[in-house]
Structure 1
Amino acid sequence: MKFRVDRDVLADAVTWTARTLPTRPPAPVLAGVRIEADATGVISLSSFDYEVSARSEIPAEVSEPGTVLVSGRLLADIARALPHKPVDVSLEGTKVVVTCGASRFTLLTMPVEDYPTLPQMPELSGTVSGDALTLAVTQVSVAASRDETLPLLTGVRMEIEGERITLLSTDRYRLALRELTWTPATPGFSAVALVKAKTLIDVAKSLGAGGGLVNVGLSTGSGLDLIGFEAGGRHTTSQLVDGDYPAVRRLFPDATPIHAVVPTQALIDAARRVSLVAERNTPIRLAFTEGQVVLDAGQGDDAQASEALEAVLVGEDITVAFNPQFLLDGLTALGTDFVRLSFTHPNKPVEFTGQESLDGEDSSDYRYLLVPIRFAG
């Protein structure tokens, strides 16, 4: 194997392909990146850990086709450190030699025949705007659980019905729902999948950030349930999370007799300031009365803080308390000038939605439901 490639192109591709490599691989070969040089002038770089696969294709001047397996993280570190000159890669015996300008590195190869076969990208199910996908995933993933002992809740439920995708996530303390449109490959396409939140986050950052279209492929009921994403010569697949996701949609209230509207950024800033005195696991309280909301934290002999903001209140006065970080997560994810908080009872979940003006209608595209913390007094 022998090829020449642009340094930046190589560094970018290797870094992207190696990003999902396991820290403690169950088999040594799974720490490797498989490099295949094709006579057509295309280099394929692949990684796989039996759950998530990644493949990147880049152009190169291929003198001798071939396939090798080398340490992915080491190759990524080397590629990023190389000078900005063309890179020559060649196989010499059992070693891969990387030369760039006056720099020369020698890497040991791993047995490529022991490397598992990557799963095929599922058949195209539809396409979605990269920007729309990135925003939706960012908004929903804040509510996904980080607790690996509850694998179901570390996933994002994806419900596809025709031209609409609904993403749902919960960690039992909050619930996020985001709806977006896409273009299905076949009209009336319908599917449900549970995708690892960290996989979606990675896809949004690495494939959706370019602003183009992202191809999505979904394969269910065939023994190996997979979801695949492709954009710009990069493909990634992930096994779906197995299990029945809880029926969380019913948690959204049918009616909310009380609601308040507050400028979003002002509430974020005030919550950050007031929460400075909130000890770990202690809440921040929001007291809504006509024309204002007062935020306060701390009590007794502890440090205390309070701040008042203008707010519009419809309905009775109400006071609720939240985990400060969960409150900030929801407010930050909204991305609108104003936030509407809809209440049924001080101890019942509060729904956060965004709206563009103080007296406008709220949008149901993104809904964030947060369970309040009970407090004395």
Structure 2
Amino acid sequence: MPIGVFARRSGLTSSALRFYDDSGLLHPAEVDPASGYRYYTADQLGRATTLRRLREIAMPLPVVAAVLDAGPEEAARLIDDHLARVLGDAEAARRTAVLLKSSLGEAPGLPVATLKGFVLADAVEQVLTATAREPDLPVLGGVRVEVDREAVTLTATDRYRLATRTLVPSEPPATAWAGTVCGDELRAAVAEVRRSALVRVEATAHGIRLRMADREDRYCRSLTEEFPDFRSMLAALPEVTTRVTLSKSVLLRALEEHCGEQVALRFTGGGTHILTAGAGTHLLMAGGGTHLLTAGDERPETRLPATVTGRELGIRFELTTLYPAVSTAVGPDVMLDLRGPDQPVTIRSADHGDLTTLAMPVKPAPAT
């Protein structure tokens, strides 16, 4: 086929095909000796398409040549190496751009709190598990930072979980401050923060600056969208009706071994029962307590030792909601405060109150 037809089918321009011919990456199958016209075959479309895609990810010509002539495993390795370099360069450019923007005509930052680096790093990683990347709701990828005279509070939510961690500053905060900052930029700063004995948090017009001795400052921009009004939601929660305390490691192990996307929990005086919750699962409320039945045949239970106070209760969760809420809890034992099968469950350490997570259950199936 002539070069124009091949260009349309491969997605490359005619000028690009001439360039790749001169570069030795894609020679035409035939060149008319009289006219100099280049002709290609259908068998060359695969190489041409791969070449175009490699150039679309900004791969240098020498590496493109190596990929095109390599076997599948070596080609995949070369692509991974190139992608790692591109992402590394992009992250370095992003950090530099953030620092540049933070210094453009901006007044010195307002000191708001000084925290131990490793404590702040742990807190950031814990609450970030409750963030979400949603293009239509970018604020769900942010962390709400609130500073008062006694504490620094970090909060994040993905609408199904809400995680909040309270920190005691190394020095009394100089002023009250609140804002929502980019979760990805906080995540990128964690490694440096963790290696610093103390981190001074400064508020700026467009975010927060993390100052660390002998390390480069890290800057996290503010998000302009309004953070969800979680305090009103917390204030509106009904009273706790059931409190459960059990081993965190035992519960996590049971969840890891669980099959299915949902998990059903039944809390009784005899402990905690975990059952498979499939599409045909129903909660049956009876005088003898709450029982979870599976349509067709009842599935086996996993019984866990637990201390249960209050009324018996059955509740279901998406496994991807419950597991991270439990795994980030501090300490060996976890406490669950329940308010009903359709209300958020408060999950926290049995003896450390610094980190609290709320997890939304799955709507109970109608009884049949």
TM class by shorter-chain length?
0.5 to 0.7
Residue in 1 aligned with 2:183?
197
2:269 counterpart of 1:290: yes
Residue in 2 aligned with 1:233?
215
Deviation at 1:250, TM superposition (A): 2.8
Secondary structure of the 1:334 match is coil
CA distance in 2, matches of 1:230, 1:301: 61
Residue in 1 aligned with 2:200?
215
Secondary structure of the 2:322 match is helix
Could you give the per-residue CA deviations for residues 100-142 of structure 1, whole angstroms, max 9, x where no partner exists? Answer: xxxxxxxxxxxxxxxx895567344331101110121122111
Matches within 5 A, 1:155-174: 155-174=142-161
Deviation at 1:163, TM superposition (A): 3.4
2:217 counterpart of 1:149: no
Residue in 2 aligned with 1:53?
99
> Aligned partner of 2:353: which letter?
S
CA distance in 2, matches of 1:47, 1:342: 41
1:207, 1:214 within 8 Å by CA — same for their partners in 2? Answer: no
Deviation at 1:48, TM superposition (A): 2.6
2:347 counterpart of 1:366: no
Deviation at 1:303, TM superposition (A): 11
Instruction: Mark the CA change 1:342 to 1:298 in structure 2 (over 3 Å): closer, same or farther.
Output: closer
1:261, 1:312 within 8 Å by CA — same for their partners in 2? Answer: yes
2:347 counterpart of 1:352: yes
Could you give the per-residue CA deviations for residues 312-345 of structure 1, whole angstroms, max 9, x where no partner exists? Answer: 1111110111111221101111121111111111
CA distance in 2, matches of 1:283, 1:20: 37
CA distance in 2, matches of 1:171, 1:47: 25
Instruction: Mark the CA change 1:47 to 1:142 in structure 2 (over 3 Å): closer, same or farther.
Output: closer
2:135 counterpart of 1:135: no
Aligned length: 260
Matches within 5 A, 1:265-280: 265-274=249-258, 277-278=259-260
2:321 counterpart of 1:326: yes
Cα root mean square deviation, aligned: 2.8
> Aligned partner of 2:109: which letter?
P
TM-score, with structure 2 as normaliser: 0.64
Residue in 2 aligned with 1:109?
none
Deviation at 1:211, TM superposition (A): 5.0
Q: Gaps (5+ residues) in structure 2?
A: 1-85, 279-294
CA distance in 1, matches of 2:239, 2:353: 14
CA distance in 1, matches of 2:297, 2:180: 44
Secondary structure of the 1:166 match is strand
Residue in 2 aligned with 1:247?
229
Residue in 1 aligned with 2:78?
none
Secondary structure of the 2:217 match is strand
Paired residue for 2:333, among 319, 330, 338?
Answer: 338
Residue in 2 aligned with 1:22?
90
Instruction: Mark the CA change 1:313 to 1:47 in structure 2 (over 3 Å): closer, same or farther.
Output: closer
| Between structures 1 and 2, the one with greater strand share | 1
Deviation at 1:254, TM superposition (A): 5.9
Instruction: Percent identity, please.
Output: 23
1:298, 1:305 within 8 Å by CA — same for their partners in 2? Answer: no
Could you give the per-residue CA deviations for residues 153-180 of structure 1, whole angstroms, max 9, x where no partner exists? Answer: 1111111002311111111111111100
1:262, 1:312 within 8 Å by CA — same for their partners in 2? Answer: yes
Secondary structure of the 1:244 match is coil
Secondary structure of the 1:214 match is strand
Could you give the per-residue CA deviations for residues 2-35 of structure 1, whole angstroms, max 9, x where no partner exists? Answer: xxxxxxxxxxxxxxxx977537xxxxxxx75xxx
Residue in 2 aligned with 1:40?
none
Instruction: Mark the CA change 1:304 to 1:207 in structure 2 (over 3 Å): closer, same or farther.
Output: farther
> Aligned partner of 1:332: which letter?
S
Residue in 1 aligned with 2:21?
none
CA distance in 2, matches of 1:20, 1:192: 31
1:48, 1:118 within 8 Å by CA — same for their partners in 2? Answer: no
TM-score, with structure 1 as normaliser: 0.63
2:330, 2:348 within 8 Å by CA — same for their partners in 1? Answer: no
CA distance in 1, matches of 2:267, 2:209: 46
CA distance in 2, matches of 1:158, 1:338: 27
